[in-house]
Structure 1
Amino acid sequence: MQKNLFEGDSYKAQFAVITYRRLMSHRWVTYSDVMAEFMGLDSTEQLPYDISKCDHVGELRKIFPLVCKALKEKVGKDCIEEDGNNRNKHFRYVGKDGDPFSGMLKAVFRKDLNDYYQFCQDSSGFFPVSWIEHFFDKTLDLFEIKKKKEQGHELIGSSMLRKHNNIEFLPFIYECIRDHRVLKVAYHEKYQIASTVIFHPHYLKEFNGRWHIFGSVEQKDSLLNKTIIKEGLNIPLDRMDEKPLIVNNVEYILPNKIKYPEYFNDIVGVTHKNGEIYDIIIRIHSKYMFGLMETKPIHHTQKTLKNFDDTLGYGEVVMNLRTNNEFFGRILQLGCELEIISPKEVRDEILHRIEQMRSRYIIAHTDNDSCD
């Protein structure tokens, strides 16, 4: 029985799948083409260096000829054409069978799909209940998921409380984003009087256990006497008054200036402001906290400036971002071990927030004393 070259999670198996798919296009294929696709690049020109220096090139050089050999044994020795020298050899599949190893690939994909179903069953405690019940409705999988939950056999869970207001809207909104449907949404902005907008949903983002829907909204400009499109509107799910309605007579508008999820690259959380982007230096006065910050960075740009020094009693990190409430909240959450060193504007802002908190506790303490 012929070995399935595509089976498993090894680098060889991954290279085998890419090599086979490339050859089935009936175009010329090189080792560099396969390596570029493996690295997620659009072309060989984007390879950062010569293929001989790429990671796992050894596995590629072993599996590529094995795929060609297997095709020759299955289809015929003349099904692969070769051109070029050893350093830049090209290969092209010219066989009449358009997909000779479809059975092998389907076997691998069926196994992967079964693994995914198993993951969904074991991790149902991680996802909002509305997701599970919507997408597995009327299936045996939902029965198995509920059975595992009742028996306490879930293998993956979450510390986040998932019973949020309007959480049952999530699958509907996801499908509207996927299908490019315009919505009529009534919501409270910062818990004020409700307003209704024509909303073009583009992106769902969860932060700190709360779901946010980002998109574009149509607004009337009385001065220009026309409708303008405002991008990047954030509607928290729990501020909706009711389930949004689909608007069929309005053409869906894709984001123009904003590219999700890159929109969140320069902030912590979801709140966007037009402020300056800072290089923020944070001094950490605890070896334990320094280790925690290294394993759970506040922002993806965080880098170590100074490793923790026992003599000095601190280490330092730097991150590049726009400040917002989520950033300051994260700093305060981590406590007195963290000190913002620079820039002065950011240090002054955190100091102002700390003083406000302190004054609140002093007032509360005085009031309590007067009641005794």
Structure 2
Amino acid sequence: MPVNRNALIRYRTIDGCLQNRQKKWTLDDLIDACAEALYEYQGIDSGVSRRTIQADIEMMRSNKLGYEAPIIVIDKKYYTYADKGYSITNIPLNQQDMQVLGEVSDLLKQFKGFNHFTDLNEMVSKLEDKIYTQKTQRAPVIDFEKNDNLKGLDWIETIRKAIVARKAMCVTYQSFKARAASTFCFSGYLLKEYRNRWFVLGRSHNRYSPLLTLALDRIQAIEEHEDPYRENKDIDLATYYNDVLGVTKSLGQRDNLVVFWIDAANAPYVITKPLHHTQKLLKEDETGKIFSIRVIMNFELERELLGFGAKMRVLGPRLLVKQIKQQLQKTLDHYNIQNPEFPHEDNGEVTEQ
């Protein structure tokens, strides 16, 4: 049966609420959440009636849309899912969904080839591959890089909405180095993906605070905060990460000319997949090639260079050469440590000592 956009927004909103088991959801709570979602996405500020949300819940419970959502009422007041892992987004796509996806794919394909929409090429390929696998029930023909165990992805939409609405967030966060989590007010500016991990760039409201880059997989909770949003007045978000590998960067940090040698066998890989958009070929001979990139020195740069092992030699700057040598020496020291309790290799077989 046809479902209009407003109804779909309400279904998704109710679904998102019921998945959040940290809060008890009354019917009035669901009404308020749906009204807010309709205002944000459609500009509708007329509110939502109780009868509408009650009808939505019954529709979600039914099989008319294929949801059969296990919505129950606790203490005659609070709505939740009987199955903690349920979501309407986890059910198989129906024929109507497939038709909508096909129409979206056809629309997006019209923009392929335009310079301003180059990022759409991968999106269209992913969408068409998804439609193909659903229709034919065959294995995908494109295997995109993914990490099914990646944490923090649920925060992306929450943070995006806060940035667009210019609202401050109360973030509970624990870095890998911290012994305990801390909670602070935060104004977000930019969501950034690096190697399948997501980060948010912004500023903490704790006194004077420099820019912070928070890993979404280290965020434990996000709530709205009453503090006024602190606008970004320091950086150009469109170019902020142009001089860096990864996301580790501080205001005022200057870039450096990093020069490195790659052996002849592996140089083609660096040519076809440059380490950075500033990469230049400086010199070459039969043993290999010398390249340069202009970037800020950070942890991600060291990790990228160390990943080449003996195939690469960093030539400058001196500080980076020293740091790389120290890391390589630590690596050798680790291999010199004997561990009799660990299985060792003997004549190609792993045995216990």
Please tell me the TM-score bracket, short chain as reference.
Answer: 0.5 to 0.7
Q: Who is 1:240 aligned against?
A: 219
User: 2:302 matched to 1:328?
Assistant: yes
Shift of 1:231: 4.0
The answer on whether the counterparts of 2:187 and 2:204 sit within 8 Å (CA) in structure 1 is yes
Tell me the SS of whatever aligns to 2:240: helix
Shift of 1:326: 0.6
How do 1:298-317 and structure 2 match up within 5 A?
A: 298-307=275-284, 309-310=285-286, 313-317=287-291
User: 2:272 matched to 1:284?
Assistant: no
Q: Who is 1:272 aligned against?
A: 249
Match of 1:297 among 274, 286, 306: 274
Shift of 1:325: 1.1
| Structure 1 gaps, min length 5 | 1-108, 127-143, 221-227
The answer on whether the counterparts of 1:279 and 1:319 sit within 8 Å (CA) in structure 2 is yes
Q: TM-score, normalised by structure 1?
A: 0.55
**Rounded Cα–Cα distance in structure 2 between residues aligned with 1:358 and 1:118:** 44
* Residue identity matched to 2:322: D
Tell me the SS of whatever aligns to 2:190: strand
Aligned residues: 233
Shift of 1:166: 2.5
Q: Who is 2:21 aligned against?
A: none
Tell me the SS of whatever aligns to 1:123: helix
**Rounded Cα–Cα distance in structure 2 between residues aligned with 1:291 and 1:257:** 39
The answer on whether the counterparts of 1:276 and 1:322 sit within 8 Å (CA) in structure 2 is yes
Q: Who is 1:207 aligned against?
A: 194
- Check 1:231–1:115 CA distance in 2 against 1; reply closer, same or farther (3 A cut): farther
Tell me the SS of whatever aligns to 1:176: helix
Q: Who is 2:44 aligned against?
A: none
**Rounded Cα–Cα distance in structure 1 between residues aligned with 2:294 and 2:174:** 32
Q: Choose 1 or 2 for highest CA Rg.
A: 1
Shift of 1:122: 4.9
Shift of 1:259: 1.8
* Residue identity matched to 1:322: I
User: 2:146 matched to 1:160?
Assistant: yes
Q: Who is 2:228 aligned against?
A: 251
In angstroms, what is the RMSD of aligned CA positions?
3.3
* Residue identity matched to 1:213: V
Match of 2:326 among 352, 355, 358: 352
Tell me the SS of whatever aligns to 1:184: strand
**Rounded Cα–Cα distance in structure 1 between residues aligned with 2:334 and 2:217:** 28
How do 1:155-234 and structure 2 match up within 5 A?
A: 156-192=142-178, 193-220=180-207, 228=208, 230-234=209-213
Q: Who is 1:148 aligned against?
A: 134
- Check 1:294–1:146 CA distance in 2 against 1; reply closer, same or farther (3 A cut): closer
Shift of 1:219: 1.1
The answer on whether the counterparts of 1:122 and 1:145 sit within 8 Å (CA) in structure 2 is no
- Check 1:170–1:298 CA distance in 2 against 1; reply closer, same or farther (3 A cut): same
Shift of 1:111: 6.1
Match of 2:337 among 334, 352, 363: 363
The answer on whether the counterparts of 2:173 and 2:218 sit within 8 Å (CA) in structure 1 is yes
Q: TM-score, normalised by structure 2?
A: 0.58
Q: Who is 2:64 aligned against?
A: none
Tell me the SS of whatever aligns to 1:265: coil
Shift of 1:323: 1.2
**Rounded Cα–Cα distance in structure 1 between residues aligned with 2:210 and 2:138:** 44
**Rounded Cα–Cα distance in structure 1 between residues aligned with 2:195 and 2:136:** 27
The answer on whether the counterparts of 1:121 and 1:154 sit within 8 Å (CA) in structure 2 is no
Shift of 1:204: 0.6
- Check 1:125–1:212 CA distance in 2 against 1; reply closer, same or farther (3 A cut): farther
Identity of aligned residues (%): 22
* Residue identity matched to 2:304: R
Tell me the SS of whatever aligns to 2:310: coil
The runs of 4+ residues in structure 1 deviating greater than 3 Å are: 109-122, 144-147, 152-157, 273-276, 364-372
- Check 1:153–1:277 CA distance in 2 against 1; reply closer, same or farther (3 A cut): same
Tell me the SS of whatever aligns to 1:361: helix
Flag the structure with higher helix content: 1
Shift of 1:300: 1.6
| Structure 2 gaps, min length 5 | 1-103, 112-119, 345-351
